[in-house]
A and B are shown apart, each in its own frame.
Chain A
Amino acid sequence: SQQGEEDPQALSIQEGENATMNCSYKTSINNLQWYRQNSGRGLVHLILIRSNEREKHSGRLRVTLDTSKKSSSLLITASRAADTASYFCATRSPGTYKYIFGTGTRLKVLA
């Protein structure tokens, strides 16, 4: 399969806690992106990290990238019930405009 792997597959936390999800991929990349999906329909872009970057922040989101391990992590701090969704990583490899998505992490934030 071309898909990346994400873990955990599902995560349930209390509001206010931090949520961490991980993504592993298989080939060299130009960039890695994280997307959020509510209710199994359209995805929304959250954050992009380039292959020469190691860490990036956006609001309550923190993304790290380790190209030697072909892995990334997404940290959501001070989670809210509204963060309940599925989260996917996506990678683009050099020489192609194709984006390959991971298997996703289903996050549930309990109020």
Chain B
Amino acid sequence: GAGVSQSPSNKVTEKGKDVELRCDPISGHTALYWYRQRLGQGLEFLIYFQGNSAPDKSGLPSDRFSAERTGESVSTLTIQRTQQEDSAVYLCASSLVMDDATNEKLFFGSGTQLSVL
């Protein structure tokens, strides 16, 4: 596709349920990022995938959060046993990694608004 696609755009769930959020990156982009943004706040890094390297999971807030990526394509962020504090916009971004970082930039999807009731 032309851009980063995220689905669903909105998700309302009950506390304790599991949710899956999907991200389709731009074709050919080797790096994929997940961020969380609470209302009125900045972006909180969750995880990134780069090619075949082990993902950097250092930002995942608890073991209820996990993410997978199939090759250099789709990624799924899973939140188990959702809590009200998980309510936020979850943003995905992809990039074409360049070692000298000259023209490297992140392309963002429109995000998934997650509401946990």
Q: Point out residues on A near B: beta carbons under 8 Å.
A: 2-3, 6, 30-31, 33, 35, 40-45, 48, 50, 88, 90, 92, 96-104
Contacts and interface: CB of A to CB of B under 8 A. Distances in A.
Interface residues of B, number: 31
Given A101-B35, A101-B43, A96 B108 contact: no
Interface in B84-117: 89, 91, 93, 97, 101-111
Contacts, number: 69
Interface of B: 4, 31, 33, 35, 37, 39, 41-45, 48, 50, 56, 58-59, 89, 91, 93, 97, 101-111
A88 B43 CA distance: 9
A33 B108 CA distance: 14
A43 B105 contact: no
Contacts of B58: 98
Contact of A40 (B50, B89, B97, B102): B89
Given A42-B108, A96-B56, A98-B48, A3 B37 contact: no
23 contacts: A2-B45, A31-B101, A42-B91, A42-B109, A42-B110, A43-B106, A45-B105, A45-B106, A45-B107, A48-B103, A48-B105, A88-B43, A90-B106, A92-B101, A92-B104, A96-B56, A97-B50, A98-B45, A99-B33, A101-B35, A101-B42, A103-B42, A104-B42
